[in-house]
Amino acid sequence: MGRAAYERDLWYDRQHLSRSIRKRTWLAISQDLDHILVKFYAKLKRTGYKHILDRVNIEALKRKQTAHWEQIFVYDIDKAYRKRIDRMNKVHNQLEIEPTHYVTAYLYFMNMFQRSILAHAAGPHEAHQMISAMQIIVSDDLSRSLESYYRPSTLQISADFVHAFMDDKGTRQG
């Protein structure tokens, strides 16, 4: 394990999170995720990234984001996750998305996820458990994403970049 991974694991210890709390947290968030994503893309369209969004299939991006969030909440980190993060960051680098905007988006999602948890938790104790789990999971994902974001290998563009601009059937969008 590299130094950065070791130090990240000191802060974001996912190992103590039970599968049950992770699934309950995902269930709460997933009830509102479509609405959260609609708001997220509406906000992005009012930024300097509008020209990018005008060329992509937002519905396909929303499906990919939903799958990503479900994966990190419900399942363990594995090689497929790491490859997905690398692919995602290749695209973000190619699109010249600033890391500060990337972090801001994560903070937006954390805020919206917290609101979902508060709306759907059975009570304050469960809400606290779920918010704590969400913060660990999302912070860990952000940390891993930023590691990948700054790795020189993520700057190489391949078919993954092209795939980001296609829908699930391979049809070019935009």
Q: What is the mean pLDDT of residues 89-114?
A: 88
Question: What pLDDT band is residue 2 in, cutting at 50, 70 and 90?
Answer: low
What lies within 8 Å, CB to CB, of 162 at 6+ separation is none
Q: What is the mean pLDDT of residues 59-63?
A: 93
Helix pair angle (79-94, 124-150), 10° resolution: 60
Q: Which two tokens stand for residue 83?
A: 């490859």
Q: What is the mean pLDDT of residues 2-9?
A: 54
**Which one of 61-70, 81-90, 138-147 scores highest in mean pLDDT?**
61-70
Q: Is the pLDDT of residue 22 over 50?
A: yes
At position 21, the amino acid (one-letter code) is: I
Hunting for tokens 């694991």 — which residue is that?
9
Distance CA 134, CA 99 (A): 21
- Angstrom CA distances, 8 to 3, 110, 144, stand at 8, 18, 8
pLDDT of residue 51: 81
Of 68-77, 84-93, 100-109, the one with minimum mean pLDDT is: 84-93
pLDDT of residue 157: 42
pLDDT of residue 5: 57
Q: Is the pLDDT of residue 36 over 70?
A: yes
Question: What pLDDT band is residue 131 in, cutting at 50, 70 and 90?
Answer: very high
Question: What pLDDT band is residue 30 in, cutting at 50, 70 and 90?
Answer: very high
Which CATH class for the 18-164 domain? mainly alpha
Q: Is the pLDDT of residue 101 over 90?
A: no
Segments making up each domain of the chain, as ranges: 18-164
Burial (Cβ within 10 Å: 0-12, 13-18, ≥19) of residue 85? buried
Neighbouring C-beta atoms of residue 137, cutoff 10 Å: 24
Hunting for tokens 């789990």 — which residue is that?
133
Q: Is the pLDDT of residue 169 over 70?
A: no
Q: What DSSP string describes 84-120? A: HHHHHHHHHHHTT--HHHHHHHHHHHHHHHHHHHHHH
Distance CA 127, CA 138 (A): 16
Which H or E element spans position 155? none
